[in-house]
Amino acid sequence: MNTTNPYSPPENFATEAPVATEAEVTARPWGPWATLGWTLVVIFAMALAQAAVVVATVVGLMLMGQLPDAVGLSTNGNLVAGMSLSGAVAMVGLVVALCYLRGVPIADYLALRFPTLQQSAVWLLGLAAYILAADLTTYALGRPVVPPFMTDLYATAWLPLLLVALLLAAPLSEETLVRGFMITGLSRSRCGAPWAVCFSSAVWAAMHLQYGLYEIGLIFILGVFLGAARHITGSLLLAMLLHCVANAVATVEAMIAAA
């Protein structure tokens, strides 16, 4: 008589979940604490790259017999644009290297996926509503819609260089770090995506200390909006597009204010 239990698994059947290999464990995004640490490293590298541009500019002025003016340099559009470009190269390069080091495909790690036309239209309308509400609130409070810093940049910069910095370098680099690298890593914490979106927005706002507290607050709100777009649609490219459009609107407003 066959006493084998017909419902028992065969001898070669794995009754336990397969153990992940070392390669599979490594090929995951950095955890929340590692993400915070690496973010500080990337921001420090960005600051070093920008400082190098400032030092080169000051040395160049001194060699030409000109005395550098700290106040003038801080609002010089060409210098700020050059700092933005050098910082962008450092930020994007390091983030890409961190993704490669972790073994996760860059497109997957940073959510480099195209949004649908419907998603783009909906979030662009939302951005328009935010910009309108922010401008109306700023005007009602008696504050300048265009911060003086932006007016100074437009008045002192070579326009093509400024446009490349504002419409390409800033959206690409800042979104890569904040809404790409940071949100991916911080979302793995127990607090989840809402915490990741809010905290990364606070970091992004703190990177804009050239503005006043009121403007930094508006930047934080915009950051939450961009983070929500990236999380809900799963597309960092959409956040980059929205960031670019927001900067384009700010640039046009600066042009009108300077006219």
List Cα–Cα distances, 234 to 30, 51, 228, in angstroms: 18, 34, 9
User: What is the model's pLDDT at position 65?
Assistant: 74
CA distance 72 to 211: 16
Please state the pTM of the whole predicted model: 0.86
The percent of residues in the chain predicted with pLDDT above 70, rounded, is 88
Q: Degrees (nearest 5) of the Cα angle 219, 33, 100?
A: 90
pLDDT for residue 154 is more than 50 = yes
Secondary structure string (H, E, C) spanning the chain: CCCCCCCCCCCCCCCCCCCCCHHHHHCCCCCHHHHHHHHHHHHHHHHHHHHHHHHHHHHHHHHCCCCCCHHHHHCCHHHHHHHHHHHHHHHHHHHHHHHHHHCCCHHHHCCCCCCCHHHHHHHHHHHHHHHHHHHHHHHHCCCCCCCHHHHHHHHHCCHHHHHHHHHHHHHHHHHHHHHHHHHHHHCCCCCHHHHHHHHHHHHHHHCCCCCCHHHHHHHHHHHHHHHHHHHHHCCHHHHHHHHHHHHHHHHHHHHHHHC
Does some domain include residue 13? no
CA distance 22 to 5: 36
CA 15 to chain centre: 45
Q: Give the residue with greater pLDDT, 61 vs 19.
A: 61
**pLDDT tens sequence across 50-88:** 999 999 988 887 888 777 676 667 778 889 999 999 999
User: What is the model's pLDDT at position 241?
Assistant: 98
Q: What is the arithmetic mean of pLDDT over 185-213?
A: 92
User: What is the model's pLDDT at position 210?
Assistant: 87
Does some domain include residue 24? no
User: What is the model's pLDDT at position 70?
Assistant: 66
Does some domain include residue 90? yes
pLDDT for residue 5 is more than 80 = no
pLDDT for residue 259 is more than 80 = no
CA distance 30 to 98: 9
Q: Give the residue with greater pLDDT, 259 vs 10.
A: 259
User: What is the model's pLDDT at position 257?
Assistant: 84
List Cα–Cα distances, 102 to 18, 42, 95, 113, 178, in angstroms: 22, 16, 11, 20, 18
153 pLDDT band (50/70/90 cuts)? confident
Type of residue found at 70: A
Residue 43 CB neighbours (<10 A): 18
pLDDT for residue 23 is more than 60 = no
Q: What range defines the domain where residue 229 resides?
A: 29-258
Structural domain count of the chain: 1
Contact 230, 240 (CB under 8 A): no
pLDDT for residue 119 is more than 70 = yes
Give the max Cα distance, the chain: 105
Does some domain include residue 93? yes
**pLDDT tens sequence across 203-245:** 999 999 889 999 999 999 999 999 999 999 999 999 999 999 9
Q: What is the arithmetic mean of pLDDT over 21-30?
A: 62
Q: Measured in Å, how far apart are the chain's first and last C-alpha atoms? A: 99
**Neighbouring residues of 247: CB distance < 8 A, sequence distance ≥ 6:** 166, 167, 170, 171
Query: Average pLDDT of the chain?
Result: 88
15 pLDDT band (50/70/90 cuts)? very low
Q: Give the residue with greater pLDDT, 202 vs 75.
A: 202
pLDDT for residue 172 is more than 50 = yes
